[in-house]
A = this chain, B = another copy of it.
């Protein structure tokens, strides 16, 4: 049966079923205007099952000019749990549609070299890819989905509105009576793009409420440095009483710094994070934070990719901002 390579091919299936190899292909791909008798179909399917036939992804890709791979480019930042979780979930989701996710950091492989090589069915770019590259991919028949950070909702762009996050933080603080707001920036400069947008959202929200712009301080992942920042906010005049942290990690550092200098949350300084980290409920005090609701984002991304690849129109997505506030005790 199996040729000398040991592989079960469609031809083997055809022989086993007593039909032509073409018929096997038709049955397996559910070719439309080809009426196959139920009996024939059955014979083929039985042979497939009996032989354990699996079509070769390589041969298929070669023939079709596109593989079943989905290439995802990640920003070259210290990917917090957020993005890794997103990758994890997206991979699971795409797999249900027969797609395989391959991730790559942007700086490692210059994109163009990789997509020409892999002929992916789709490419998902996180946040920064030149329009030129996108254009040439599209020209090559690759479906491109970009994840934008801003408030723009261009077609084919998955929006993860960073500005909304910052705004939501400010709103929570304002709603709980804080008038003078601080913003805790992460030390890592590679996060500045995200920071800029979140900060902008916070600024806008402050302006809308008639508050002064947030007082920006760096809070590196270091207790002593965080403590210094905490004191600076606390002793300012007028004092900052509520701080938006760039993310939960920064928030944890800040809370630790505050403890060191005897400041408590939310009494002396309210703190609100971003990410809803697994450990957020166990912070001292339990951390109020913004949840990205990744499941929603991933679902949306998967739908965009799958519908693009299969050519089906996507079931109109509600386009609700998936970001939500999780109130605990720190703010």
Binding site for B on A (CB under 8 A): 5-8, 52, 54-59, 61-62, 65, 67, 69, 79, 81, 84-85, 87-88, 91-92, 95-96, 100-105, 108-109, 112-113, 116-119, 139-140, 221, 223, 248-249, 252-253, 255-256, 259, 277-279, 281-282, 284, 286
Of the candidates B84, B95, B109, B252, the one whose C-beta lies within 8 Å of that of A95 is B109
CA distance A8 to B119 in the complex (A): 12
Name the residue of chain B whose CB is nearest to the CB of A115: B54
Q: B6 and A119: CB pair below 8 A? A: no
> Nearest chain B CB to A41's CB is how many angstroms away?
20
Q: B56 and A119: CB pair below 8 A? A: yes
CA distance A233 to B45 in the complex (A): 60
> Nearest chain B CB to A211's CB is how many angstroms away?
28
Of the candidates B92, B117, B221, B278, the one whose C-beta lies within 8 Å of that of A108 is B92
- A91: chain B residues within 8 A (beta carbon): 103-104
- A61: chain B residues within 8 A (beta carbon): 57-58, 61
CA distance A257 to B5 in the complex (A): 60
Most buried by B among A6, A101, A103: A103
26 contacts between A and B (CB under 8 A): A5-B65, A6-B140, A7-B65, A54-B113, A57-B61, A57-B118, A58-B58, A61-B61, A69-B102, A79-B88, A81-B84, A84-B87, A84-B88, A91-B103, A95-B108, A96-B108, A100-B118, A102-B102, A221-B278, A223-B281, A223-B286, A248-B279, A253-B282, A256-B281, A256-B282, A284-B284
Of the candidates B101, B119, B248, B255, the one whose C-beta lies within 8 Å of that of A57 is B119
Name the residue of chain B whose CB is nearest to the CB of A141: B6
- A85: chain B residues within 8 A (beta carbon): 84
Name the residue of chain B whose CB is nearest to the CB of A250: B282
Name the residue of chain B whose CB is nearest to the CB of A278: B249
